[in-house]
């Protein structure tokens, strides 16, 4: 294919060379002829112009020189000769057969010149030489026209041209053979190199001249080096792809881990822009992650405390030990309390920015607040009886008080207040045990009527002291229930104490128990002050106390009913309250009955 | 003429003891259960000193103090406020009120008597420096 092309190119170029040579020769010949005509024409015009017009022009009975000189010329290129006036009229003319003398053009200068006359119809182009007649009064011009030479391919030159063509043509196959011979090893080289772009590059083997062998040797070394390099690069690429995947996997895993953390994370670069944020910051700060990423803290952070901390950590001036924690209420999420810890990220003497961990501290904050409130409340509850005891004590110590009635009163009040404090402290301890989960009911089968009778006996003295009648209405044989005796006694005592405490002198308290189909209902009914429906809803809340009106002090501390309710719930029962303001209340404990006792069961 | 003291507390035992001891010291004692009752008593007769608890049902001690100072701007008789907290914790609300002092609980009646004696002695000296 390639060789064919080379052959074709050689043929075409040899033809072009032949054409060029012939063309140049023809051009040369034509130029020679034109020069010859010009010399002849101009010479003739000059010599004839020097003659007087009378000699040139034919006179009557005597032929003019012009006619006699030119009429017999055998030059085949001769076209015409004429003597013309300025008006274009020909005074004399001699023309070769079939030639029309063209009209004269006015002669501008008194000099000899030539002009080309465009060919007329069926005529040949003519070159005209002309000049003024010397003898005449310059009004006459002598014109001699020669035909422009034809393309002068002479038949006699043909063998010469053919010889040249043959010589050129004979050179072509010679050049072709030489080129082909020189190209052969290169072609083989190219053929072998084609296989070099596959992975396994083979070495080039050639049987050729010294210089091509050198080239092949260099190529071989190059190929050798290249294939080794390619193998290296391929190994590198595989290794880097593997490590890239590993890194990506590691990074994804890390991100998944960070996103799963309950804390919100922010990573800021040293300039203070956020480069990473977990989704948890939205519920914590109330700002979507999209608004935070690639933004400086001024753009998204509304909380002045957090902003101030982030500003402190901006720049590279922090060392790895610098850490700071603040606690604040985020403006974006009302009611939340957050801890934010900032830690400078440094290592290898580089500052990578700041890590900020946001932790929801709402529960801890509320617990702390509740703890503080609890302590304040208990302190107040203890201070009130202490205050009264202290004052009565001081009064008793005062020598000036010697009225026995006052002394008895003081001792009674002190005893009451001590009892109040003991009850408070006991209930506090029980509430604490209950809330710590260390108060677990040890349930045994208990005969309810005995339990109720005990509680009634215990409360009677307190009721009598306040002139309140305490009734017991319990059937002799009540179904057994499964309760923790000690805990249940606390619940009952608190209900009875309340019924007595919030009663008036002359009132009654009735402890009763009724047995239904599936449960037993224990009720404490009083004829006391009662409650509003709002108070009834809240009366089992911890530390809730009904607002007291009137003169009398009840000395409640807001733990008794809370504790009773909790204990009943621990026994899977429920405490219901009916109440009417001014008429009294009924507190009822509903307990599930125990299934029929298996033989040999123990009843406490 | 006997100096009059108005006791305001919703704890009857406190009123009882303070009344006994103050009367024995020669003071005339009136008492009220809460802020509203105290204002009624005050309308009938202005006391020379008021002694009040803070935590009371109805109108509490803080509100009572503000109302008294607003209602009788020219008669800034001293008010002793009995509190379960420390005096420093109570400073905030009392800042704009004149002549309010604190008695920390548990309260010693003898301490109150001493404070009253000092106050009346100083007041007498200021009124009549040559006596």
Q: Which of the given ranges, A120-129, A179-188, A448-457, has the highest pLDDT on average? A: A448-457
CB contact under 8 A, A391 and B33: no
For residue A429, CA distances in Å to A290, A369, A432, A433 come to 51, 20, 5, 6
pLDDT confidence tier of residue A344, bands split at 50, 70 and 90: confident
The residue of chain B with its CA nearest to that of A414 is B13
DSSP class per residue in A587-600 = EEEEEEPPPPPPTT
Kindly report which listed range (A143-152, A171-180, A365-374, A547-556) carries the lowest average pLDDT score: A547-556
pLDDT above 90 for A248: yes
Whether omega before B106 lies within 30 degrees of 0, making that bond cis, reads yes
> CB atoms < 10 A from the CB of A255, how many?
12
pLDDT in tens, A510-548: 999 998 888 899 999 999 888 888 888 888 887 777 766
Domain spanning B4-127, CATH architecture: 3-Layer(aba) Sandwich (3.40)
Domain ranges (residues) in chain B:
4-127
Q: How many C-alpha atoms does A313 have within 13 Å on its Cβ side?
A: 33
Q: Which of B33, B57, B84 sits opposite A383 (nearest CB)?
A: B84
Q: What does DSSP assign to residue A293?
A: B
Q: Which of B24, B58, B107 sits opposite A400 (nearest CB)?
A: B24
- pLDDT value for A375: 83
CB contact under 8 A, B21 and A553: no
Domains in chain A and their CATH numbers?
A: 2-153 (3.30.450.20), 261-360 (3.30.450.20), 361-437 (1.10.287.130), 440-592 (3.30.565.10)
The residue of chain B with its CA nearest to that of A550 is B33
pLDDT in tens, B28-80: 999 998 899 999 999 999 999 999 998 887 788 889 999 999 998 888 889 99
Q: What does DSSP assign to residue A550?
A: S
Q: Which of residues 54-93 of B touch A (CB under 8 A)?
A: 55, 57-58, 84
Mean pLDDT (whole number) for A142-147: 82
Give percent above pLDDT 90 in chain B.
46
- pLDDT value for A473: 92
Mean pLDDT (whole number) for A110-136: 76
CB contact under 8 A, B84 and A380: yes
CB contact under 8 A, B107 and A387: yes
**Gap between the Cα atoms of A303 and A284, Å rounded:** 12
* Mean pLDDT taken over chain B: 87
CB contact under 8 A, B13 and A380: no
pLDDT confidence tier of residue A579, bands split at 50, 70 and 90: very high
Q: Which of A380, A395, A549 sits opposite B57 (nearest CB)?
A: A549
- ipTM, 2 dp: 0.88
Mean pLDDT (whole number) for A67-72: 66
pLDDT above 50 for A598: no
Task: Please check whether residue B37 touches A, CB under 8 A.
Answer: no
């Amino acid at each position: 294919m390639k060789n064919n092309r080379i052959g074709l190119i050689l043929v075409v170029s040899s033809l072009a060379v032949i054409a060029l040579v012939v063309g140049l020769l023809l051009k040369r010949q034509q130029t020679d002829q034109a020069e010859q005509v010009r010399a002849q024409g101009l010479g003739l015009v000059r010599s004839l112009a020097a003659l007087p017009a009378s000699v040139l022009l034919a006179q009557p009975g005597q032929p003019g020189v012009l006619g006699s000189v030119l009429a017999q010329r055998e030059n085949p290129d001769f076209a015409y000769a004429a003597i013309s006036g300025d008006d274009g009229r020909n005074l004399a003319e001699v023309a070769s057969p079939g030639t029309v003398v063209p009209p004269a053009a006015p002669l501008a200068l008194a000099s000899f010149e030539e002009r080309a006359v465009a060919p007329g119809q069926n005529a040949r182009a003519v070159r005209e030489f002309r000049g003024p007649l010397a003898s005449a009064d310059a009004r006459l011009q002598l014109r001699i026209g020669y035909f422009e030479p034809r393309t002068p391919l002479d038949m006699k030159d043909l063998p010469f041209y053919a010889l040249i063509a043959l010589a050129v043509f004979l050179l072509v196959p010679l050049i072709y053979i030489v080129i082909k011979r020189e190209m052969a090893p290169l072609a083989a080289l190219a053929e072998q190199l084609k296989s070099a772009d596959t992975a396994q590059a083979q070495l080039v083997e050639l049987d050729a001249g010294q210089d091509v062998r050198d080239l092949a040797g260099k190529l071989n070394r190059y190929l050798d080096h290249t294939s080794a390099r390619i193998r290296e690069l391929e190994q590198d690429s595989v290794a880097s792809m593997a490590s890239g995947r590993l890194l990506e996997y590691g990074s994804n895993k890390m991100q998944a881990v960070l996103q799963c953390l309950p804390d919100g994370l922010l990573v800021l670069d040293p300039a203070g822009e956020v480069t990473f944020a977990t989704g948890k910051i939205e519920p914590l700060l109330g700002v979507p992650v999209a608004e935070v990423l690639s933004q400086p803290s001024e753009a998204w952070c509304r909380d002045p405390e957090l902003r101030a901390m982030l500003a402190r950590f901006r720049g590279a001036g922090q060392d790895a030990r610098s850490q700071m924690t603040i606690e604040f209420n985020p403006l974006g999420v009302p009611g939340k309390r957050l801890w934010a810890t900032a830690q400078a990220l440094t290592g290898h003497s580089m500052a990578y920015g700041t890590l900020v961990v946001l932790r929801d501290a709402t529960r801890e904050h509320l617990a702390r607040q509740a703890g503080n409130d609890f302590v304040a409340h208990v302190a107040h509850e203890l201070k009130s009886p202490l205050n009264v005891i202290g004052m009565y004590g001081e009064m008793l110590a005062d020598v000036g008080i010697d009225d026995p009635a006052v002394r008895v009163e003081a001792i009674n009040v002190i005893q009451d207040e001590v009892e109040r404090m003991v009850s408070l402290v006991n209930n506090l301890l029980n509430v604490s045990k209950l809330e710590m989960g260390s108060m677990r009911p040890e349930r045994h089968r208990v005969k309810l009527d005995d339990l109720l009778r005990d509680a009634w006996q215990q409360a009677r003295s307190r009721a009598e002291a306040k002139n309140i009648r305490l009734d017991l209405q319990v059937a002799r044989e009540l179904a057994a229930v499964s309760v923790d005796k000690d805990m249940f006694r606390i619940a009952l005592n608190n209900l009875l104490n309340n019924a007595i405490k919030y009663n008036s002198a002359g009132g009654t308290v009735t402890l009763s128990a009724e047995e239904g189909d599936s449960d037993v209902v224990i009720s404490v009914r009083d004829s006391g002050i009662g409650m509003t429906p709002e108070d009834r809803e809240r009366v089992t809340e911890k530390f809730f106390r009904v607002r007291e009106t009137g003169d009398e002090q009840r000395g409640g501390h807001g733990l008794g009913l809370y504790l009773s309710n909790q204990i009943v719930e621990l026994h899977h029962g429920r405490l219901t309250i009916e109440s009417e303001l001014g008429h009294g209340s009924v507190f009822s404990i509903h307990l599930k009955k125990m299934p029929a006792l298996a033989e040999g069961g123990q009843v406490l | 003429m006997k100096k009059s003291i108005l006791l305001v507390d919703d704890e009857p035992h406190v009123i009882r003891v303070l009344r006994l001891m103050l009367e024995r010291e020669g003071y005339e004692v009136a008492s009220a259960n809460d802020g509203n009752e105290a204002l009624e008593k005050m309308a009938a007769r202005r006391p020379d000193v008021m002694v009040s608890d803070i935590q009371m049902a109805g109108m509490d001690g803080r509100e009572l103090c503000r109302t008294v100072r607003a209602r009788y701007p020219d008669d800034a008789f001293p008010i002793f406020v009995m509190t379960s907290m420390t005096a420093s914790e109570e400073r905030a609300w009392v800042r704009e009120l004149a002549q309010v002092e604190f008695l920390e609980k548990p309260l010693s009646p003898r301490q109150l008597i001493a404070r009253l004696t000092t106050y009346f002695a100083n007041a007498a000296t200021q009124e009549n420096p040559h006596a």
